[in-house]
Amino acid sequence: MSALTDLYKEITDCRQCDLCRQRNRAVPGEGAEEAAIVFIGEAPGWHEDQQGRPFVGPAGQFLDELLALIGMKRQEVYICNVLKCRPPGNRDPLPIEIKTCQQWLDRQLGLLRPNIIVTLGRYSMARFFPGQTISKIHGKARREDGIIYYAMYHPAAALHQQNLRETIRADMLKIPSLLAETKPSPDTKATEKPQQLSLL
Ligand code: URA
């Protein structure tokens, strides 16, 4: 068993906040253990709570479509959330829930060590781009300690605001260039700088 699978067991057994009382299933996350890209959403919704898997409802269908746009499947990336249990009625996560749950995301990222962390929506953005607003920084990236952080609107936002669909698609289409930046081609001379893509 991998360290990540061991961690899933700890997450599904977690009773450190009140969300455990109403959940059907905790939703640790899923995807490739060697994924270069990790997508982080907000919290499980109704469908995710039923299945114990992230992004399997309508927002997840749009995320799958977005991944297909860049020629990727969900099995090639890693997908998880800030909260591992569903807030009742899909209400916003509470600060205490985010704080209590942070240990799990930290440990996941420590094991996965991705090249790119994509935040989906306000709550995961707040974790990696503190003090920023999504309307200003979506589609922009920040490089820190060898990791590229990239902010996007939450796919569910497009379900309520059709006009965001194209924005979200356009932001997704920038990810392959970011990925290319993390993998210098063998014939790039040491002095050549890779092209920088709207870094913050
Ligand atoms: N919204 C999220 O933020 N995460 C999910 O897993 C599903 C919907």
C-alpha span between 153 and 134 (Å, rounded): 7
Averaged pLDDT for residues 6-24:
98
Q: Which atom of ligand 1 is nearest to the CA of 59?
A: 8
Could you give phi then psi for residue 50, rounded to 5 degrees? -70, -40
Q: Does the CB atom of residue 171 touch ligand 1 within 6 A? A: no
Give percent of the chain with pLDDT exceeding 90: 90
What is the average per-residue pLDDT within 64-91? 98
As a whole number, the mean pLDDT across the chain is: 93
Q: How far is the CA of 63 from the centre of ligand 1 (A)?
A: 10
Judged by DSSP in three states, 140 sits in coil
Residue nearest to atom 7 of ligand 1 (CA): 55
Burial of 174 (0-12, 13-18, 19+ CB in 10 A): middle
Token pair, residue 129, equals 């781009």
CA of residue 120 to ligand 1 center, whole Å: 9
* 3-198: CATH, from 3.40.470.10, 3.40.50.720, 3.40.50.300, 1.20.1250.20: 3.40.470.10
Q: Higher pLDDT residue, 165 or 193? A: 165
Q: Quote the ligand 1 centre to 83 CA distance (angstroms).
A: 9
pLDDT-derived band of residue 69, with 50, 70 and 90 as boundaries?
A: very high
What's the gap in Å between 188 CA and the centre of ligand 1?
Answer: 39
pLDDT in tens, 93-148: 999 999 999 999 999 999 999 999 999 999 999 999 999 999 999 999 999 999 99
Q: Please report, for the chain, the start and end positions of each structural domain, with discontinuous segments joined by +.
A: 3-198
Average pLDDT value for residue range 28-45: 98
- Residue 41 near ligand 1, beta carbon < 6 Å: yes
The CA–CA distances, whole Å, from 41 to 1, 79, 167, 185 equal: 26, 8, 17, 31
Ligand 1 near 48 CB (within 6 A): yes
